[in-house]
Amino acid sequence: EAQVTQNPRYLITVTGKKLTVTCSQNMNHEYMSWYRQDPGLGLRQIYYSMNVEVTDKGDVPEGYKVSRKEKRNFPLILESPSPNQTSLYFCASSGGFGYTFGSGTRLTVV
Amino acid sequence: DQQVKQNSPSLSVQEGRISILNCDYTNSMFDYFLWYKKYPAEGPTFLISISSIKDKNEDGRFTVFLNKSAKHLSLHIVPSQPGDSAVYFCAASVQNYGQNFVFGPGTRLSVLP
């Protein structure tokens, strides 16, 4: 089954403790992206990657890092999480005409 | 400033009636538009798309209309069903610039039995 898999689904952490949210796709898509969803703001793009070793900032990249060492994986790294990064995060991949989204990671930073 | 706007945060419709969800955009370069549907605790799923070379696209109960001069698109659901209750996101992109989509804030549709 074609899918985008994110882990974990839920995460509660403390301010400043580094964390990684993993994302993997099995569709051989070149394009992958991370979004955060906040009430009233919709889905805002954090980072995207057009291919392996090619990443670029989206609209809200501050406080986040990504890497794309292989085509299927696109982890999101929060080096020093802060409470304003409490949000619902979605990973997505695309083969050209729209995104396939993962199920989301709800992150709470206390 | 939001490039893609969905000015109605929520909409309630009776089962069997038509649901109309609206979306406006400001960037005249956008030439490809998508609608996504999102249930709680799930990721958004693709619903329907339209290219700027068309002004209408249908898929079963779902029809998307595009008015390029007004920079406006709308999603019509006929007839509405309780299972259509979800958040609907409009998204737009400039196809020649790759696959980055700009999303609207979403409209929560409630279809009442």
First to last CA, chain B: 37
Q: Give the integer Cα–Cα distance in Å for A77 and A73.
A: 13
Q: How far apart are the first and last CA of chain A?
A: 36
Residue with tokens 């005409």: A97
How many CB pairs below 8 Å do chains A and B form together?
55
pLDDT at A100 over 80: yes
Domain positions in chain B are 4-112
Shortest CB distance from A31 goes to which of B41, B49, B99? B99
d(CA A92, CA A31): 8
pLDDT digits (tens, 9 = 90+) for A15-42: 999 999 999 999 999 999 999 999 888 8
Measured between alpha carbons, how far is A86 from A98 in angstroms, rounded to an integer?
26
B104 reaches A (C-beta below 8 A): yes
Whether pLDDT at A96 is above 80: no
* Residue A1 pLDDT grade (very low, low, confident, very high; cuts 50, 70, 90): confident
Classify strands B19-25 and B72-77 as parallel, antiparallel or unpaired: antiparallel
**Residue A2 burial (C-beta neighbours within 10 Å; 0-12, 13-18, 19+):** exposed
**Which of B99, B101, B102 would best serve as a mutation to test chain A binding (most A beta carbons within 10 A)?**
B99
Nearest CA of chain B to the CA of A20: how many Å?
A: 19
Residue to test with chain B: of A97, A100, A105, A106, most B Cβ within 10 A? A97
pLDDT tens-digit map of A47-94: 999 999 999 999 899 999 999 999 999 999 999 999 999 999 999 998
CB-based contact B49 A96, cutoff 8 Å:
no
Question: CA-to-CA distance for A32 and B49, rounded, in angstroms?
Answer: 19
CB contact under 8 Å between B34 and A98, yes or no, is: yes
Q: Which residues of chain B have pLDDT under 70?
A: 1, 96-98
Question: Using CA atoms, how far apart are residues B60 and B78, in angstroms rounded to an integer?
Answer: 9
Distance between CA atoms of residues B108 and A36, nearest Å: 18
CATH class of B4-112: mainly beta
The Cα–Cα gap between A51 and B3 comes to: 26
In chain B, residues with a C-beta closer than 8 Å to the C-beta of A49 are none
Q: From CA A21, how far away is CA B108, in angstroms rounded?
A: 27
Q: Are A99 and A33 in contact (CB under 8 A)?
A: yes
Chain A CB contacts of B43 under 8 Å are 4, 90, 92, 101-104
Question: Nearest-CA distance from A4 to chain B in Å?
Answer: 10
